[in-house]
Structures are given as structure tokens and as C-alpha cells.
Homo-oligomer: A and B are copies of this chain.
Amino acid sequence: MAVYTDVSPAELGTFLSGYDIGTLTSFHGIAEGVENSNFLVQTTTGSYILTLYEKRVKTGDLPFFIGLMQHLAARGLSCPQPVAARSGAMLAQIADRPAAMVTFLPGVSVRRPTAQHCAELGHGLAQLHLAGADFPMRRANALSVAGWRPLFEAAGSQADDVAPGLAATIAEELGRLEASWPADLPSGVIHADLFPDNAFFLDDRLSGIIDFYFACTDFLAYDVAVCLNAWCFEADGAYNVTKGRALLAGYEALRPLSPAEKAALPRLARGAALRFLLTRLVDWLNVPEGALVRPKDPLEYLRKLRFHRAVDSAQDYGLVA
């Protein structure tokens, strides 16, 4: 995690003169975000995050991300709210990069979520899904089932260098999921990357959801499956059904899952595990020289995938029938 682009105080001063947010009082690059450069900007009116979009984010996707945060914040979701420049524009340019200023969210992410955190998260996820229901823009999920085979091909036979037999396991799983992936579940805006480092808490209450740069249009229950993977496994690889139950109950308190979504949950969870297994595998095999970021262990998601393969029904995740 790093700041990739250097912004001079003078550049920032010029940039801020296009906004109605007061005078600059403090400015620090923050070591967060693998994809973008982030600065904590304090002015006489409050705290803001200035994000510079680096080349891994497609410029054409920015109106979706910015529009979505604006839409969700307007509907009461606690997420970064884009700040318009005096011109009305939400996107600007600094240091030759597209950039956006958003409000700063208080809160602290948790490394080891408790069942209480999972309940809060489930509730927040449902709130996000409901708030996004009337968002008019669409963005395909490039990392859903159709995107997995190209990732697998990018890793190729090198997968077996990471773990013997991994290529065969992935090939088999991929074939099954391609053949059985649901086609008609309730869809809408999903976060698609709601890991614990993208959720803030204050006094164990969810205070905000950040990092919408994987958000897209897909099955809402797939987002639930991503969260079960990200929040409800212990460090030793065991699924914690108490946390799963809390997350699902928190979610269903606001948005009950349909029978079709419940039936699909084990498959969606396998798909979500495969998705993170594949992207982590490709990152693992392609660490650039002098990399700042240690890639995450792909095998964590192989273990999760194995768990999901043994699951019979959504009840195994803690869903109350």
C-alpha cells in the first residue's frame, strides 16, 4: 500500500481553489489503496480524501464509481460522498491523473471481525443493495464467471508451482461453475469487494463502507457470498457458523433472500472463492520487481473453496431456514 503519485502543496493549492471547501490546513499521503493514491486533506471546513486514479482504474469507469457513491450517500448509506468542484464537476485532474475529492469517513476497520461486526456488516450490505436499487447506471462484473477462465489461462500450468494439483482443481471447479452458474437471480449494484479493510466501525457499529472501485451490476446474493468468504472464516481456515448466521441475519433483517437466492448460495460462495483464488493466483505469479505490496496468499481461498464444495445447503452457512 503506497502513494504512487507525488502531489506538491502548490499543485494541491491550485486544485483546491476550484472547490468551495475552505483553506488547506493539512495534507498527508495515506498508505492505503492498492490501486490508487490517496491523500487526507484537511481544510478549514473539515476532512476529505483526495483520490488520484492510477492506471489500473479505467477512466471510463469513473463516472459509474463516482455516481454510485453520490447516489448511495444521498440515500443515507454511510460511504464517501463525492464533493463537487465549483464548476459542478465531480471529477477533476491533478498531477496528470483523474482525481476526485470525497468526504472523510471516521471509523476504524477491524482485522478480526466478531459476530457483532458480521451482523453489522450484513445489515450494511443489505442497506447498500436497497439504496442501489434505483441507481440508473450499469457496469458489468468483469470478474464474474465469464472472467474466470481468462484468469485461469493467464496462470496456466504455473498454478501447480503454487500448490501441486492446483491447476486440475481449478479446471474442474471452473467447468462445474460455468455449467451451473445461476442465470436469473435478483440483480443490482454490488460492492463486490467488501472485505474487512473496506468497512469502518465506531464502537463496534458499522460507521462506513469504502472503496467502491470493484462495484458493478451483478447478483445481489453473490455480494453476500463474497462477504461470507471474507468475514466468516477464521485464521485457521475454519468457517465460523456463528459469524455466518450473524451476517445473514443482519442482511435478511433488511432484505430477505428469496428461495432461489438461498438455493444458489453454496454455488455463489464457491464462485466467490474461485474468483479470489484466481485473482490472487495471478497476482502471486506476477509480482513486479521492487513491488511495494506483498501479494495475498491464493491458497487461503483454495481452503475456502474446499469448504464450500462440501456444503449441502445455505443452512450450512448459518441461514435460518
Contacts and interface: CB of A to CB of B under 8 A. Distances in A.
Interface string A103-131: 01011111110000000000000000000
B32 A28 contact: yes
Contact of A289 (B107, B202, B290): B290
A111 B9 contact: yes
A9 B110 contact: yes
A3 interface: yes
Please give the count of copies of this chain that the complex contains: 2
A305 B104 CA distance: 45
Interface in A1-60: 1-3, 8-10, 12, 23-32, 40, 42
A212 to B, nearest CB: 18
A111 to B, nearest CB: 4
Interface residues of A, number: 33
Interface string A261-285: 0000000000000000000000000
A29 B26 contact: no
Nearest to A290: B290
A257 to B, nearest CB: 30
A292 interface: yes
Interface of A: 1-3, 8-10, 12, 23-32, 40, 42, 104, 106-112, 202-203, 289-292
5 contacts: A3-B31, A26-B104, A28-B28, A289-B290, A290-B291
Q: Which 6 A-B pairs have the closest CB atoms?
A: A29-B31, A3-B31, A290-B290, A28-B30, A8-B111, A25-B106
